[in-house]
Structure 1
Amino acid sequence: MTNLSFKENIIGSRNYKTISVMLLLFIGGGSFFFIGIESYFKIFDFSSIQYIPQGILMLFYGTLALTFGSYLLLTLVWDVGSGYNQILKEEQIIYIVRKNFPGKNSFYFFSYPFKIIKQIKLLKKDGLNPRTNILLVLKDKREIPLYPPQFLLKPTEMEKKAINLSNLLKVPVETKTVS
Structure 2
Amino acid sequence: MVTTQSQSNVLRYDIVGSRRFSNYGFAVIVAIGASGFLLAGLSSFLKINLLPLSEPLQLEFVPQGLALSFYGVAGTLLELYLLYVMAIDYGSGYNEFDRNTGKVKIFRRGRSKNKNIEFIYKIADVQAVRVEIRNGLSPKRSLYLRVKGKGDLPLSEVGQPIALTALEDRAAEIAKFLSVPLEGL
TM > 0.5: yes
- Counterpart Cα distance in 2 of 1:148 and 1:71: 21
2:172 to 134, 158, 163: 163
2:167 maps to amino acid = M
1:135 maps to amino acid = Y
- Counterpart Cα distance in 2 of 1:135 and 1:148: 11
Identity among equivalent pairs (%): 26
Q: Residue 143 in 1 paired to residue 156 in 2?
A: no
1:10 to 12, 15, 22: 15
Query: SS of the counterpart of 2:184?
Result: strand
TM-score, reference length from structure 2? 0.82
Match of 2:40 in 1: 35
2:38 maps to amino acid = F
- Counterpart Cα distance in 1 of 2:85 and 2:25: 13
- Counterpart Cα distance in 2 of 1:169 and 1:67: 45
Q: CA deviation at 1:128?
A: 4.1
Q: Cα deviations across residues 24-46 of structure 1 (Å, max 9, x unaligned)? A: 11111111111112122221242
Query: SS of the counterpart of 1:156?
Result: helix
Contact 1:11 1:151 in 2 (8 A): no
Q: Residues 94 and 19 (structure 1 numbering): CA distance in 2 closer, same or farther, change over 3 Å?
A: same
2:17 maps to amino acid = G
Match of 1:46 in 2: 56
Q: CA deviation at 1:12?
A: 1.7
Contact 2:97 2:105 in 1 (8 A): yes
Query: SS of the counterpart of 2:91?
Result: coil
Q: CA deviation at 1:47?
A: 4.7
2:73 maps to amino acid = T
Q: CA deviation at 1:152?
A: 4.8
Contact 1:35 1:58 in 2 (8 A): yes
Match of 1:23 in 2: 28
Query: SS of the counterpart of 1:149?
Result: coil
Counterparts of residues 24-103 of structure 1 (less than 5 Å): 24-44=29-49, 45-103=55-113
TM-score, reference length from structure 1? 0.85
- Counterpart Cα distance in 2 of 1:7 and 1:90: 13
Q: CA deviation at 1:141?
A: 5.0
In structure 1, stretches of 5+ residues that fail to align are none
Which segment is superposed worse, 135-144 or 88-97? 135-144
In structure 2, stretches of 5+ residues that fail to align are 50-54
- Counterpart Cα distance in 2 of 1:20 and 1:95: 32
User: What's the RMSD between the two structures over aligned residues?
Assistant: 2.2
- Counterpart Cα distance in 2 of 1:126 and 1:40: 51
- Counterpart Cα distance in 1 of 2:175 and 2:147: 13
- Counterpart Cα distance in 2 of 1:3 and 1:151: 30
Equivalent pairs counted in the alignment come to 175
Q: Residues 174 and 54 (structure 1 numbering): CA distance in 2 closer, same or farther, change over 3 Å?
A: farther
Contact 1:124 1:133 in 2 (8 A): yes
Q: CA deviation at 1:48?
A: 4.5
